[in-house]
Structure 1
Amino acid sequence: MPVARKALKMGGRKKVLSGVELERMRAEELEKRCRQLMLLQSRLREVIAQEREMFSTVSGTIDARWMRFLRECKQRELVVEIEVLRRTFETTLDRKEAFSATLLEELHVAEEQCRHAFRSHMDVVGSLLELHAARTKDLEGELESNVAEMQRDFEYERTELELKHRIEMDDLRLILDNMASEAEMMEKRLQEETSEGHETAAEKMDEEKRQMEADLYKVEDALRGELDSRYKSFMSTAQANMKEYTAKCKEDQDTTERIAAQLRKIEKLQSNVASWRTNIARNAKEWEGRNTAIQAERDATLAHLKKLKEKMQRWRQMQSRALIDLVKEANATEESLQATSKRAARLLRLVELCKPMETEREQVLLHEANISAAAVDAETKRRVAAASSGIAQDDVHSGGNTVPAANEQWQSLDRFWLKHNKVVLDNAALTQERFLLEEENRQLQVVLKDYLDDVSISDQVMRQGNALLCTQASNPNVVQAASAHDDGGVRGYNVVEGNKFINDQTRHAIGH
């Protein structure tokens, strides 16, 4: 009996020690996993710090190289544009110098004969210069306003980019803080679960131990009388029961491991679901903010485009009104000149028709500036009074004054030929002056036509030579260059806009 009791006590101790050892192994495994998780988190923090340092180092280098590349591209484009502008300016300057030299020679030839016309021409040129100065001033103001507007847009875009950069950096910091807080919470939860499981297992083992001891004492007291009778049967069935007990223990252990694995899977799935929900909410908030920013930027761009279109329409209307006024003034000037020319031609025709009807005396008196109308009336009255007197008295007077009368006739004839020669010279001078004025009028009409063709757009104008559409090809303008090549190939030309050319010339003149 004491031997059996000792054997039972030894068997019970072995069973308790196996459970404690199992729990200790589980605790060691959990601690090992916690240490691995902490090592992994520290490694992730180091990797994140390295990535930040590399990003801060590489981003500056990339930005510097990108800015250098952009500066080089812009420099090449500016060099090409400056070369094109230089060639265009040299061509225009040569043409204007040749035209100015021709005008200067003609001005020296006609300076003494057309002073009045020259003064009127200078008035017209002065008005054109004032118009050009006003237009240049308006273009400079428009350029300054455009530059100021571009600066404001640049500052606005830069502030938006800085704000967006700060928002993204805040989001990244928030993500990192959330990851750190989640890792700390997970670590605390694992520690709590491990400590609670260990305490629960120890309490359970103590309770089972006490209950088992009580049961064993009861069974020992109850089975003392029956132990001898059942010893043989017990020994016969002990091996089978031991095998069955071992199988049940293994089955319980496997079931416990499967339950623990399923619980770990459930916890992992729950953590994944929570993280995905957090990511979905964060992404939804982020994309809503981005959509709002994009919508605001789109609205601002549309509003700016609308303002630019309205400004362009106003400028076109203003230019159209100015062109209409200029055309009206040109037509009115042309009509007035035509009316004046018709009136002068009519006067000349009337003079030619009346000239054969005039007497020699009337022709001489017509151009004799030193004889007044009163003297002519007195001479007429004297002749009438002399004719009313007698023939004898007339003969006496005529006989006594024969030589002075003949001298008077010769003097009148000399005056007639002098005045006739003066009239011929005056007619020649007027003819020469009219020819010069017509030539100058024709040149002014050609200049006005070139100006109107340069500022207007039509098929005829675009097919002719235009100073505002200069190319490097052999054709005079872009339209002729396009019509000259019918092979369908893509050809590039450097086109200089008229407004840009005028602005460049104005800035060049202001700089010098």
Structure 2
Amino acid sequence: MPKKGKKAKIPLSDEEQLLLFQQRLLAEEEAAKKKERLLTQFLKDKLAKEEHNSALNLNKINTQWRTVLREVKTRELHKDIEILSQTFERVVDCKDSVIKTLEEKHFLRLQLENIVEDLWRRFQDALKNYTDATEDRKIAFETLRMKDEKSSKEIEIQMKKIQKLQEAISSLKGKIVSHSRESEWQNHCVRNDKELVHIQLRKLKAQRTQVRGVSQENLVKLTLESNTTLKELKKVVEKGEQILKLAEICRKFETEEEKVLPFYSSALTPSEQEEVSERQNLTQNPEDLTEELARAMVDYSGMENFWKRYNKVKLEVLSLQHRRTQLLDISGKLRELLKQYLDGISVSDEVLSQLNPLFIVNHRSNLPQLSTPAQPEDRRPPKTYNVIEAAHVVSRTL
């Protein structure tokens, strides 16, 4: 049972509890802020009071320190004044003593000057008396002194001359000794040179004799060679004249075609012509050539047209010779056939012992067949020649 006079606690909802909790927090925050403001104000007041006290104490300290410094400075100035006064008095005393000393020195100086003047007058009088008394002696002394100086100078000059003569004599003796040694050495060298010159002269004479013999032999050889060369040149000239004469004779036998076209066109293909030109370019430098035929080709490159005509004639000659050989072969075979035919129509033991060429069996004769029967002259094919250029032959040879 609840007590009388007390109200029963009503339970709060969550929102009310939250509001109550927030109010408490706000109250606590307000109290904390108020407390912080009070503390801040208290600290500010205390700081201002401390600053005022420190400024006041600093002024007091400065006032007392200035008083102390003034007292110390006053004592130092009193000491300096006392020292300066003592120094001034001491300097004044020194000046007074110096002035007194100078006055005493001046007085003594005047006394000394008077004494010196008196002594100088006495000295002048004594000097005058002495000069008057010793004038003659002085003149004689000066004369003797001058003579003595002159004599001493002459003696010194003579001594120098004697010394120079002695030095010249000693140097001449040394030169004589050295010249004698040099002359002996030169004579020895001259004798040696003379012997060497004689030896070289004999060698040169022997060499001259030998060279003269060699030159004589060379001259004989040169004469023989020149004679041989002249003979060979004469032969070459004669051969050239003969060739020219033969050329003139052959000119008469040339055909109209040869007269119009003396040089045949090249029978080489374009590739072969390029190969020949390349080889000619490679062999333009005679020093690079090793074979005699290549060197000869380079030496006689200016006679190309001559060699063309020569090769043409040479090839024609070879062709004619070949044709002549063929014709001789055909002629021999024909002669043999003719002989067999004549033997066939004649009767003899020798003919009967051999095959009869006229005996025909199965349309076959014993007459041997010709491999190349001769054609009649009216149907003979035109003459053809195989022309090969010498340049082509040389290129194949190289």
**Fold match by TM threshold 0.5:** no
Superposition TM-score tier, normalisation by shorter sequence: under 0.3
Look at both structures and tell me which one has the larger radius of gyration over its CA atoms.
2
RCO comparison, higher one (Cα < 8 Å, 6+): 1
Quick check: which one's helix share is greater? 1
TM-score, structure 2 normalization: 0.27
